[in-house]
Structure 1
Amino acid sequence: MTTKLIPVENRKLWLAAIKPPMYSVAVIPIMVGTAAAYNQTGNFEPQIFFTFLSAAILIIAWLNLSNDVFDAETGIDINKAHSVVNLTGNKSLVFWIANLCLSLGIFGIFAITWWQQDGTVLGIILLCCALGYTYQGPPFRLGYLGLGEFICFFTFGPGAVSAAYYSQNQNFSSQCLASSILIGISTSIILFCSHFHQVEDDLAAGKKSPIVRLGTLKGSQVLNWLTASIFILTVIFIALNYLPWGSGLIFISFPLAYQLMNHVNQYHNRPDKVSNCKFLAVNLHFWSGLLLSLALVLPHLIPLIQSQFA
């Protein structure tokens, strides 16, 4: 009996299609929302956290797979070798796998609702899923009108972060809102960066992405302001006491922000060079979110650690 090995090129395409780094957009909002709740109360519900995290990953899988299906219908992905639909050649199968992921994800949120006897989290997540569908799903396809970044901001910022926060302590706060704005911006930057290298394909498919509307040069300038706003708003939120002083830890991620801005400023009109900028944006999103989470939990963790060694 022999084992048929998958060619290296195919493995690379599948890895690009699955997009493992992109799942940080599921992990970080849940982590930050939970950390903000812990900062406020000192309580942590691990069962709810890990259930929510698993559900969020499944919902992101649905979003990625269904977007591939919807893009296949418009023909915008005709040159995209790492589209799951193009790799499998079976749009229907990908669509039903996507729906299975969504169903399992929503089931996890139902479980949280049942445990807490409170439908708030379920309502927020259903709204986020509905917004996510409008991004590429017919008949809306709002992403083709250049509205994807706004949808992304509300879905992964105030939506997901607030839901994670509420799932831990059943209320909302200014700290929750401030944290969600920072995560919403950093997530939207990822989507914004994904357009720089595909202007021709977007134009051919009639997709008016922000970069199609602005051009790559102005787009790079807007990216500079969006990226800088994460750090400017952090200072403002600290000054207003919406975030603790320790949130300044987020500035450790500034070299990643500079790397992203510098790279796009240099290669904004070079699709072959700028195509990896979305992964630079993922790095910024992940590390800035992780540092913010760490800053939020440290005020409670440090005394606990000290008591263990006292």
Structure 2
Amino acid sequence: YLTETGNGGMLDCIKVVPDTVKFRIFNEIVQGNPPTVIEFPQNQQVVSDWQLLKMKVKNWGMALRIPFLTASVVPVLLGTAIAWFTTGTFYWGFALLTLLAAVTIHIGSNVMNDYTDHRSRNDEFNREFVRPFSGGSRVIQLGLLTPLEVLVGALFFFLLSALIGFYLAWARGPLILVLGAIGLVSGLFYTGGPFNWAKRGFGELLVGLNFGVLMTLGAYYVQTQSFSWIPVIAAIPVSLLIAAVLYINEFPDFAADKQVGKNTLVVRLGRKNAVILYALIMFTVYLSIVVGVVMDVIPATTLVGLLTLPIAVKAIQYASKHHSNSFDLIPANALTVTGHLATGLLLALAFMWEKVGAEGLLYIAMLGIVAVGFVVFMYRYVERQKNIFIGLKQAMR
């Protein structure tokens, strides 16, 4: 069975008894799942439709990578906060629709990436992936969803995002069509199609622009129906940080990406040299905040974003020391994700604080507590994933 399905290389151990075959593959060990059981037809249990539905929903939950949708939530929150700060306008309905459009195009991009990486066999070749940071969701490789289901799911989320975008363009202005089209083409052809942006080495740039400047500007435009340089400048650190998240997550995928000709920046530079660029990106994040304040484009309260600088320094230290060891690099992956989320939320809170002043400080403090709680939740989630891999490494030793 393993040979016929092309999974022989993923075999860890196997046990055959008269009526049952059990085997474990690397992916399942990493996730802490029980071994796969293959029973002879006469011994298989009947599963109810309700159980099948719950299994399918759980499998799609893995494919959507819900905890990491913060990459699209942060710029929308920032753009909406800036709109409130500059013009005093805030429309709940349009804000929620903007958030939904951003999240669905993000999901579509993630799921399409799983499909195209399966087609190129990138995920099949990848033996150094670090869940949940790299290597995709693995739902196809684990047999949880079929390639066709994944493709149809990706197209569904792209279509849903497009429909919301058309409505927002009709209700708020045509610039939404331009921004949405850029996002759609970027996500649809990120690792496949005629453009294959990641293979051409444009992946990091496009992710940074789409999940930073463009989403922030789009959220601002939906609220104000106008253009401003404030959301553009304010979103630069968010753009750089989300690009850094993608960039550091490419280190574990180095060998597989190189094998299939996916010429990411890490593949082009090599892991040792790529760390230098990673450090430069991270320090530029905080430099851009200072420059924005000095230029008097963004308020001085946004300097609160500098509070996450120690996270960046720690991430750089881990990356510099463990750039070629996927397991030991995990803290750098986790810290970069945490830094992006924390910095983006702090910038959004800074604009809100600037708007309400001292009188509304209590409300901002309450929002800050919620934001801190969310950051802690996300950090504990990535810590749990990190500990699974570290435990696996120790067991292998």
Judge same fold: TM > 0.5, yes or no: yes
* 1:35 aligned onto 2:91: no
Question: How far, CA to CA, are the matches of 2:65 and 2:331 in structure 1?
Answer: 13
Instruction: After TM superposition, give the deviation of residue 306 of structure 1 in Å.
Output: 7.1
* 1:77 aligned onto 2:132: no
Residues 53-62 or 82-91, more deviating? 82-91
Whose strand fraction is larger, Structure 1's or Structure 2's?
2
Question: How far, CA to CA, are the matches of 2:136 and 2:91 in structure 1?
Answer: 42
Q: How does 1:88-99 map to 2 (within 5 A)?
A: 88-99=144-155
Distance 1:167 1:200, change over 3 A: same
* 1:121 aligned onto 2:145: no
* 1:302 aligned onto 2:362: no
Q: How does 1:207-222 map to 2 (within 5 A)?
A: 207-222=262-277
What amino acid maps onto 1:99 in structure 2?
L
Question: How far, CA to CA, are the matches of 2:319 and 2:269 in structure 1?
Answer: 14
Instruction: After TM superposition, give the deviation of residue 98 of structure 1 in Å.
Output: 1.1
Question: How far, CA to CA, are the matches of 2:107 and 2:169 in structure 1?
Answer: 22
Distance 1:125 1:196, change over 3 A: same
Task: Provide the aligned length of Structure 1 versus Structure 2.
Answer: 302
> Please, which of 154, 159, 167 is the counterpart of residue 111 of structure 1?
167
Question: How far, CA to CA, are the matches of 2:254 and 2:59 in structure 1?
Answer: 21
Question: How far, CA to CA, are the matches of 1:17 and 1:104 in structure 2?
Answer: 17
Is the Cα–Cα contact under 8 Å of residues 227 and 257 in structure 1 kept in the other structure?
yes
Is the Cα–Cα contact under 8 Å of residues 315 and 331 in structure 2 kept in the other structure?
no
Instruction: After TM superposition, give the deviation of residue 33 of structure 1 in Å.
Output: 0.9
Instruction: After TM superposition, give the deviation of residue 276 of structure 1 in Å.
Output: 5.3
Normalising by structure 2, we get a TM-score of 0.71
* 1:191 aligned onto 2:237: no
What amino acid maps onto 1:255 in structure 2?
P
Larger radius of gyration: 2
Instruction: After TM superposition, give the deviation of residue 201 of structure 1 in Å.
Output: 0.9
Question: How far, CA to CA, are the matches of 2:312 and 2:87 in structure 1?
Answer: 32
Distance 1:50 1:241, change over 3 A: same
Residues 242-251 or 15-24, more deviating? 15-24
Instruction: After TM superposition, give the deviation of residue 299 of structure 1 in Å.
Output: 1.7
Instruction: After TM superposition, give the deviation of residue 258 of structure 1 in Å.
Output: 1.6
Paired position in structure 2 for 1:134: 189
Instruction: After TM superposition, give the deviation of residue 18 of structure 1 in Å.
Output: 3.7
**SS, match of residue 33 in structure 2:** helix
Paired position in structure 2 for 1:9: 33
Q: How does 1:191-270 map to 2 (within 5 A)?
A: 191-270=246-325
Question: How far, CA to CA, are the matches of 2:325 and 2:295 in structure 1?
Answer: 41
Paired position in structure 1 for 2:225: 170
Question: What is the CA deviation profile of residues 200-258 of structure 1, one whole-angstrom value per residue up to 9, with x for unaligned ones?
Answer: 11121112211111121211111111000011111111000111000100011112212
Paired position in structure 2 for 1:22: 68
**Which one has more relative contact order, counting CA pairs under 8 Å at least 6 apart?**
1
Question: What is the CA deviation profile of residues 62-114 of structure 1, one whole-angstrom value per residue up to 9, with x for unaligned ones?
Answer: 00000000111111000458422223351011110111111122222233233
Normalising by structure 1, we get a TM-score of 0.90
Paired position in structure 2 for 1:3: none
Residues 107-116 or 245-254, more deviating? 107-116
What amino acid maps onto 2:163 in structure 1?
F
**SS, match of residue 161 in structure 1:** helix
What amino acid maps onto 2:112 in structure 1?
S
**SS, match of residue 348 in structure 2:** helix
Q: How does 1:267-282 map to 2 (within 5 A)?
A: 267-275=322-330, 277-282=332-337
Distance 1:219 1:271, change over 3 A: same
Question: How far, CA to CA, are the matches of 1:251 and 1:13 in structure 2?
Answer: 38
What amino acid maps onto 1:193 in structure 2?
I
Is the Cα–Cα contact under 8 Å of residues 13 and 81 in structure 1 kept in the other structure?
no
What amino acid maps onto 1:9 in structure 2?
N
**SS, match of residue 83 in structure 1:** coil
- Percent identity for Structure 1 against Structure 2: 24
- Which blocks of at least 5 consecutive residues in structure 1 are unaligned? 1-5
> Please, which of 184, 199, 202 is the counterpart of residue 144 of structure 1?
199
Question: How far, CA to CA, are the matches of 1:220 and 1:16 in structure 2?
Answer: 30
Whose helix fraction is larger, Structure 1's or Structure 2's?
1
Question: How far, CA to CA, are the matches of 2:136 and 2:235 in structure 1?
Answer: 34
- Which blocks of at least 5 consecutive residues in structure 2 are unaligned? 1-27, 35-54, 127-134, 364-397
What amino acid maps onto 1:136 in structure 2?
T
Is the Cα–Cα contact under 8 Å of residues 253 and 287 in structure 1 kept in the other structure?
yes
Instruction: After TM superposition, give the deviation of residue 15 of structure 1 in Å.
Output: 6.8
Is the Cα–Cα contact under 8 Å of residues 83 and 224 in structure 2 kept in the other structure?
yes
